[in-house]
Amino acid sequence: MSRPLDPERRRFLRGTGAALLGASALPACSLVTQRGNSSPPERFEGRLVVSTWNFGMAANAAAWSALQSGVPHPVYAAAAGARVPEADPAVTSVGYGGSPNAKGVMELDACVMRGDNLACGGVAGLRGFAHPVSVALDVMDHTPHVLLVGEGAGEFAASRGHEQRDLLSAEAAARYAKWQTKQERPAPIDDHDTIGLITLDNGHFGMAVTTSGWAFKLPGRVGDSPIIGAGGYCDNEAGACVATGTGEEMIRHVAAFAVVEQMRNGLSAKQAAVAVLARIRRNFRARDMNTMVALLAVDTSGGVAGVCTTKNFEFAVHDEDHGGVLHPGEHLAP
């Protein structure tokens, strides 16, 4: 993790699987505004970049410069932003310096999508390449496929000349060694944070997601982040959504697609994200589980919403009028 876990989140996660919360006992899903910075304006005008977590601030700045410099499509700006935390070892959940799997090997997931024609690409379980998001772009632009995994993804990345790198930083190796000394070694459900970026320029959406996934995951585990519709989705006609948190929940609910479809049906970004998040929470509670899931959505009117099942979510927004601002997420009332 690139930031300390706040005590509330710790308490919440410690309760994982403990409480028996039947779906029938669920309260109405109102939102509680989180402490800290203020909520974003009702809607943004013009160009926009949004992304998950505090490390989204630096990523957004890079994506914003790329938009300003006139990339052929906003998806390339989203990818330019995603490359920032991929290269930053201080971000311990993305790219170099992220967390390895249970065998100490880094396996990275990423995807990209454009909202004008639904072109998209992804890589899962990619080993040894510095920028999985760039490989995902190449899957989109230079193959007839959507998702490449493991060895094949690596061969493709090498064939396209992508930068190879030992992704295990000294700090990540130390975290892994510490985890190995524990007697019981469940993969910590709270130890992951994906960056998902949405770019919007003149009605055109782009999207990029990249992560090292669930820390100390089973080798071969694939999360939501490389899966179009689960970890991210965009369509100029409806809106865009990216997700972070326990990816298994996003896959079960095809979460990003579900949010975009709700916006297609006329809901705002906030209404759509809340509706889908409530459904996700109802179902994981029905499995006697508690976990962190956050959805970040942008609608076609420039409405932005970041909602989460816990109180620690933050998202970064960059636009012409406000520059870069970090906003607190909103969480579903208990």
Interface positions with ligand ASP (CB under 6 A): 192-194, 211, 213-214, 223-225, 244-247
Give the residue with the Cβ less far from ligand ASP, 71 or 297: 297
Spatial neighbors of 85 by CB under 8 A, at least 6 apart, are 55, 58, 59, 91, 94, 95, 195, 210
The tokens for 115 are 């909202």
Looking at residue 136, the DSSP 8-state letter turns out to be H
**Cβ at position 145, least distance to ligand ASP in Å:** 21
- Among 166, 95, 107, 93, which residue's Cα sits nearest to residue 134? 95
**Cβ at position 322, least distance to ligand ASP in Å:** 26
181 is catalytic: no
Residue 196, phi then psi, degrees to nearest 5? -125, 130
**Cβ at position 214, least distance to ligand ASP in Å:** 5
Amino acid type, 242: V
Give the residue with the Cβ less far from ligand ASP, 217 or 327: 217
**Cβ at position 324, least distance to ligand ASP in Å:** 21
**Cβ at position 222, least distance to ligand ASP in Å:** 8
Structural contact between residues 56 and 180, judged by C-beta atoms closer than 8 angstroms: no
Region label for 71, one of left (φ > 0), alpha (ψ between -120 and 50) or beta (otherwise): beta
Looking at residue 88, the DSSP 8-state letter turns out to be -
Give the residue with the Cβ less far from ligand ASP, 110 or 263: 110
- Among 209, 261, 204, which residue's Cα sits nearest to residue 238? 261
User: Of these residues, 92, 143, 181, 194, which one is catalytic?
Assistant: 194
- Grouping H, G, I as helix, E, B as strand and the rest as coil, residue 98 is coil
Q: Which residues are catalytic?
A: 194
